[in-house]
Structure 1
């Protein structure tokens, strides 16, 4: 993405600003004239692509004749929008544009995930993550590799945080369970970790066995991100070789959710999925 990355905080603020403008019955041109902002800046603020300056937000609130309660709420959102995320500690190794996804994941209430070949990042053990990262780029220096593993382990805290842990519903293709990433011992530990996580009330695991054959998502992995705030529309996420893609149009997200629910129907139900994982664990030698 060009320009400033639309972190979740900026994206949320932008949605509220746009809603206020529409509620005030103002066009982009009318709003930007009243607030003495450029057309480009107003557009970037509403899309989350602009650094947030409080003077600009106050000018927009004046333009929209916002009441005291609304002003306080929006100004608080504006301050939160520019707070640093925990992932900035890993700026030296953070993949391009992945800070956007991490800010989205951090703010999410729930994730609907389908994985075709790799254990989802929130479910990985340290050794599994290390083996996969090394396989993806064998030339990665050891120090950088360990920083990337640290990033992935820090990311897992979203499932275990004390307040409002993220809810994860993951459908894993059988290949994710069968592929011996890092060898039998690493994979045995990974499957044990998966079984342990499945005991948490906020984690649901289903396995899509090879026997299902062709299915609606044969084209690849995807994630649907859901939020608690009704003003935050659901979005999709697809990680591919060409870069990260974020389908946001309502029809795109509906299609992804429909595919996900087809997958949950085709996959083994959760209890049988855990039995499948236990069996795979026993077969590791």
Structure 2
């Protein structure tokens, strides 16, 4: 469940407020950096919420921007304090995509396109374990277990009875056909997908091979939207060593249009369920062929 104070979201909101103050002052990030004897990249990271913001940072920036209203300063200082609290995910140690988890925890809706895997929020423990072992071959057993635990904890957002995440997933047929772990694991995963797709706040659509070329061929992406209008919609692009977060309206609009094309080309929800059930049977047949005496 989403916590009452989400440090990732607090950092984003604080960064947005600091950017507004800088722009009202008519200063560039480079000019602010020169005044404070810090790097321009630090100012940029503070404003985009990718760096922890201390109360001293807030005090110094407010001084540069000439903010004299103590109520504004106190409010920003409080946000800075809250932004340094720890989210539930920090208990699991160094998680490379912790910024994304913070956003996902607070999101109202999530649209995701996956080309080769079942989306993390819809994975079974067995599938998640096999995926992690296969995609992270140098990981220790403890590292794999930790990542799987985080993935399962993330799923509380879609099972929250009071405020479930609205999830829309378009999944390429490749993700259903590629064996991960074993045929038995794949069949279990397919049945799990169908079960979740019956939830009113979850929509699963399959993009079959027969569609041919489509806008998602360049790779997976996610679009997060939030309850609070102050929180900009965000496109998330996962990388090997670093991730990319796009918040400019033009970027979000471009990916939203792309997602609509994918959604329209994919099978509808009911046909997708039938398709996934057939794939589950195909995996069951594969399992029977592997049984002794067959």
Q: TM-score, normalised by structure 2?
A: 0.81
* Cα-to-partner distance string for 1:231-275 (whole Å, 9 max, x where unaligned): 222221112345322233322221111110000000011111111
Pair 1:42–1:118, CA change in 2 (3 A) = closer
Equivalent residue number for residue 17 of structure 2 = 16
Cα offset, 1:7, TM superposition:
3.7
1:147-200: CA deviation from partner (whole Å, max 9, x where unpaired): 221121112112123443221111000111222211121111111211221122
Alignment CA distance shift 1:217-1:29 (3 Å): closer
Q: Using the alignment, how far apart are the partners of 1:168 and 1:26 within structure 2? A: 40
Counterpart for residue 259 of structure 1: 258
Identify the residue that residue 292 of structure 2 maps to in structure 1. Answer: none
Distance in structure 1 (CA, Å) of the matches to 2:114 and 2:234: 17
CA spacing shift, 1:243–1:75, aligned 2, 3 Å: closer
Q: Distance in 2 between matches of 1:11 and 1:260?
A: 25
RMSD over aligned CA atoms reads 2.7
**8 Å contact 1:108–1:225 — kept in the other structure?**
yes
**What is the number of equivalent residue pairs in this alignment?**
271
Whether 1:79 aligns to 2:81 is yes
Following TM superposition, the consecutive aligned residue runs of length 4 or more in structure 1 with deviations greater than 6 angstroms are none
Gapped runs of 5+ residues in structure 2? 1-6, 285-294
1:19-63 deviation per Cα after TM superposition (whole angstroms, max 9, x unaligned): 3454xx322379x98xx8557565553232443233543566683
Name the residue aligned to 1:173. 172
The match for 2:67 is 64
Structure 2 counterpart SS, 1:271: helix
Does residue 198 of structure 2 align to residue 195 of structure 1? no
1:228 aligns to what? 227
Is the CA contact (8 Å cut-off) linking 2:172 and 2:208 kept in structure 1? Answer: yes
Rounded Cα–Cα distance in structure 1 between residues aligned with 2:241 and 2:283: 34
Aligned to 2:101: 102
Q: Cα offset for 1:65?
A: 4.3
Give the TM-score of the pair, scaled to structure 1.
0.83
CA change 1:163–1:64 in 2 (3 A) is farther
